[in-house]
Amino acid sequence: MEGFSLDLLDQPESLEQILVDCRDTLKYGVRTGHPRFFNQLSTGLDIIGLAGEWLTSTANTNMFTYEIAPVFVLMEQITLKKMREMVGWPDGEGDGIFSPGETPPNSFKRRTSKPKSHFSIKKASATLGFGTENLILLKTDQRGRVIPDDLEAKVIDAKRKGYVPLFVNATAGTTVYGAFDPINEIADICEKHNIWLHVDGAWGGGLLMSRKHRHKLSGIERANSVTWNPHKMMGVPLQCSAVLVRERGLLQGCNSMCAGYLFQPDKQYDVTYDTGDKAIQCGRHVDIFKFWLMWKAKGTEGFEQHIDRCLELSTYLYQKIRNRDGYEMVFEGEPQHTNICFWYVPPSLRGLRDVEERRQRLHKVAPKIKAMMMESGTTMVGYQPQGDKVNFFRMVISNPAANRSDIDFLIDEIERLGQDC
């Protein structure tokens, strides 16, 4: 970042220099709103959402009490109720709260998980005092979906050893493979053994807005709690993460510490509107306004079109590369979400017979191509190993501004940069 000083000085700098710093910050930053940015689950930049974030900063308030954020508190209540209705809980009953990121929402409710579940599950186990040694990992199929028979076997085994299984995490849209666990089958086991069922819908929850794709979350209405991140599949500006619970009053009962300097019982309004005692961290940024404003501007149908379009684009990519020379899919069959996982095999490796040498060299291909993408500034797509699989590309689409020409460009760019790998 030549010429861009990050040093903080004792004396104030001129307004002109401040404007230069603002320009350079955007110049050297990553344009995550660009339609060819496929690197993360959160992409795009909605103009209504941006306006909402600007106005939120203008209001500069906190969400912990109704008295300082009356409009935002009511917006949050109404929006969370609508989200619970989308989950399928009768009349949107229950409770919920917006909380930063994914680890805190998944911490609101935490013993049983799977190797490919989000790392927030391990963090939550440590934070809540269970310890990661009391987190039992489950077997999954080759697509990363929980195998229900293994879940029940491990529940029974844990009980036999004197443990008390109390929590099962199912995932609706895994981070890498985009897999959806069989929620109904998992719910049957949880109900049989009286275990809390949490569905991590941070990435896949947005599909509830789509009549075409919501069946992938069939059974989610049987969950005791759900996390859902509108800042991912729905394109709401970061951050916007919700935890929903089916039992009303549970968040207050679990988290209330009755801080007298904030939560006086004799206020002139109904103090049940105060939200700070429902949250782990009390003080919260106003994450609701941008989401509420986008929902007003798009309507539920607009979000549905957004999600359907992204999934159509992922199908387009899958169909283009599944039988294309130089591409190998990480798993068989059509993807469940917009995650497309594949290897690009450069010409130098296509005829290589030594399996181990091919494996070792293929492991280095995606990092090399990604590095050249970064240097040229043309596009960005993520890669990672998974289990015994060497580095592969994980393509995700959540930006409604992307179109088929952007997908075509990505394919051509990977081939151009990977010719000599």
92, 228: one domain: yes
Which of 153, 161, 146, 79 shows the shortest CA–CA distance to 114? 146
3-class DSSP state for residue 2? Answer: coil
Tokens 């149908």 label which residue? 301
- 354: phi then psi, degrees, rounded to nearest 5: -70, 110
279, 406: one domain: no
135, 274: one domain: yes
- Whether 185 and 197 have beta carbons less than 8 Å apart is answered as no
Catalogue the E-assigned strands of 229-330: 242-245, 327-329
pLDDT of residue 127: 74
Taking 80 as the threshold, does the pLDDT of residue 101 lie above it?
no
pLDDT of residue 382: 97
85, 173: one domain: yes
Q: And the tokens for 4?
A: 């861009």
163, 240: one domain: yes
Name beta bridge partners: 394.
Answer: 341, 382
Inter-axis angle of helices 70-87 and 288-321, to 10 degrees?
A: 40
90, 55: one domain: no
Domain boundary (290, 321, 350) is at 290
Output DSSP code: residue 14. P
CA dihedral 31, 35, 39, 43 (to 10 degrees): 80
Query: What is the extent of the structural domain holding 11?
Result: 1-60+291-421
Mean residue pLDDT across the chain: 92
pLDDT tier, 203 (very low <50, low <70, confident <90, very high otherwise): very high
327-361 pLDDT tens trace: 999 998 999 999 999 999 999 999 899 999 999 99
What CATH number is given to the structural domain containing 169?
3.40.640.10
Which of 82, 64, 60, 83 shows the shortest CA–CA distance to 73? 64
pLDDT tier, 389 (very low <50, low <70, confident <90, very high otherwise): very high
pTM of the full structure? 0.91
Q: How close are the terminal C-alpha atoms of the chain, in Å?
A: 28
102-120 pLDDT tens trace: 544 455 444 444 455 556 6
Domain boundary (275, 290, 305) is at 290
9, 139: one domain: no
Question: CA angle at residue 229 from 343 to 30, to 5 degrees?
Answer: 55
237, 334: one domain: no
For 345, other C-beta atoms within 10 Å of its C-beta total 19
Which of 298, 290, 277, 261 shows the shortest CA–CA distance to 95? 277
b vs e for 226-259, b when ≥16 Cβ sit within 10 Å of the residue's Cβ?
Answer: bbbbbbbbbbbbbbbbbbbbbeeebbbeebeeee
State the total domains in the chain.
2
Q: In sequence order, what DSSP letters do the residues of 47-116 get, joined into one string?
A: HHHHHHHHHHHHH---SS-TTT-HHHHHHHHHHHHHHHHHHT-GGG-SEEEE-SSSHHHHHS---EE-TT
Q: And the tokens for 170?
A: 């199912």
Q: And the tokens for 166?
A: 């109390």
- Whether 149 and 111 have beta carbons less than 8 Å apart is answered as no
pLDDT of residue 174: 96
211-237 pLDDT tens trace: 999 999 999 999 999 999 999 999 999
- 338: phi then psi, degrees, rounded to nearest 5: -85, 0
318, 330: one domain: yes
262, 308: one domain: no
CA-to-CA dists, residue 368 to 156, 182, 372, 385, 407, angstroms? 46, 37, 6, 14, 20
- Whether 209 and 303 have beta carbons less than 8 Å apart is answered as yes
Domain boundary (228, 263, 290) is at 290
b vs e for 137-164, b when ≥16 Cβ sit within 10 Å of the residue's Cβ?
Answer: ebebeebbbbbbeebbebbeebeeeeee
Mean pLDDT for 189-204 is 97
266, 388: one domain: no
What CATH number is given to the structural domain containing 318?
3.90.1150.170
pLDDT of residue 268: 77
Mean pLDDT for 35-63 is 96
pLDDT of residue 254: 82
279, 360: one domain: no
What is the helix (H) or strand (E) element at residue 23, kind and residue range?
helix 15-28
pLDDT of residue 109: 45
- Whether 185 and 213 have beta carbons less than 8 Å apart is answered as no
% pLDDT > 70, the chain: 94
128-171 pLDDT tens trace: 777 778 889 999 999 999 999 999 999 999 999 999 999 999 99
Catalogue the E-assigned strands of 248-298: none
